[in-house]
Structure 1
């Protein structure tokens, strides 16, 4: 059995980690940033950010309906969030995502790691770009809330 391929992205926020963490777990705004694309239209955002809670986020895109699913493993305020993640193309192969929030200067550093299944290794670069877009969208939400 092959080892997972780790995708890692980092984003610095000028806001305290508690504020960024709160935005990450806020169900009211999740459709504005998580798996949101500029051209997409959110159709469903079920989001229960607590250990054992699940999410289902569906966005209508030019290519069809993008369906993202997950189950929260850990929500440790304000330090870390861990969830298992899958898309409808691979529901039998959930992957692990870990997000940490560290104090840095007057803001925070968010580090997201995604352990891709070896079968998805060719998508590592695309996944990193997607996660960075997601964290940038999260920053936009933090800025306006």
Structure 2
């Protein structure tokens, strides 16, 4: 295991609303990111799947979402573009394979930051409710070890940690605007 990544058994330091990002690599082709939020599952799912909400929290520190299109249905496409501090546009796009509100999304994803348009990940996002909390798990299945390693190298753990901090901060406003 690379320094900085945690196994599911290692303790984490709570941040923000009490959640902490945990990154694990169950196999050479997988990256799993998990974060707990103090919010009901339906609200977290809505914030994750409605463009008017996504543009308010998506992206790590210093990035802003400049375009968000979501056709939330099987075979529907999505496109999210972020503009980074360097002024470059970073797209994330793909096709939904499964949409099961408010519990699960499965989609194929091209992540533009890797600069490899032929490289597609299969991503499963689950939203598990436990009382007043929701755990979001992003399971990314990569095509190759090099693909998985490239995600880790570009800082997927830090990026999701910052992005999820933005989501945690936005959820109270999202609850007021639903």
Residue number in structure 2 paired with 1:32: 56
From the CA coordinates, give the structure whose radius of gyration is larger: 2
Correspondence 1:45-84 to 2 at 5 A: 45-63=68-86, 64-84=88-108
TM-score, normalised to structure 2, is 0.70
Residue number in structure 2 paired with 1:121: 148
Q: How far apart are the structure 2 equivalents of 1:108 and 1:129?
A: 20
| Deviation digits for residues 42-74 of structure 1 (CA, Å, limit 9, x no counterpart) | 332222222111111222223322121111111
SS at match of 2:161: helix
Q: How far apart are the structure 2 equivalents of 1:48 and 1:137?
A: 23
Matched, 1:144 2:168: no
Provide closer, same or farther for how the CA distance between residues 42 and 108 of structure 1 changes in structure 2, counting only shifts above 3 A. closer
4+ residue stretches of structure 1 with deviation over 3 A?
A: none
Provide closer, same or farther for how the CA distance between residues 114 and 132 of structure 1 changes in structure 2, counting only shifts above 3 A. farther
* Higher share of residues assigned strand: 1
Provide closer, same or farther for how the CA distance between residues 117 and 82 of structure 1 changes in structure 2, counting only shifts above 3 A. same
Query: What is the CA-CA distance between 1:32 and the residue it aligns to?
Result: 2.2
| CA RMSD after TM alignment | 2.0
Q: How far apart are the structure 1 equivalents of 2:116 and 2:141?
A: 14
Bigger relative contact order, structure 1 or 2 (CA pairs below 8 A, ≥6 apart): 1
| Deviation digits for residues 90-122 of structure 1 (CA, Å, limit 9, x no counterpart) | 222210111111121322211111112322232
Paired residues in the alignment total 142
Gaps of at least 5 residues in structure 1 are none
Decide whether the 8 Å contact of 2:119 with 2:147 is kept in 1: no
Provide closer, same or farther for how the CA distance between residues 49 and 15 of structure 1 changes in structure 2, counting only shifts above 3 A. same
Provide closer, same or farther for how the CA distance between residues 41 and 21 of structure 1 changes in structure 2, counting only shifts above 3 A. closer
Decide whether the 8 Å contact of 2:51 with 2:70 is kept in 1: yes
Q: How far apart are the structure 1 equivalents of 2:149 and 2:68?
A: 28
Query: What is the CA-CA distance between 1:128 and the residue it aligns to?
Result: 2.9
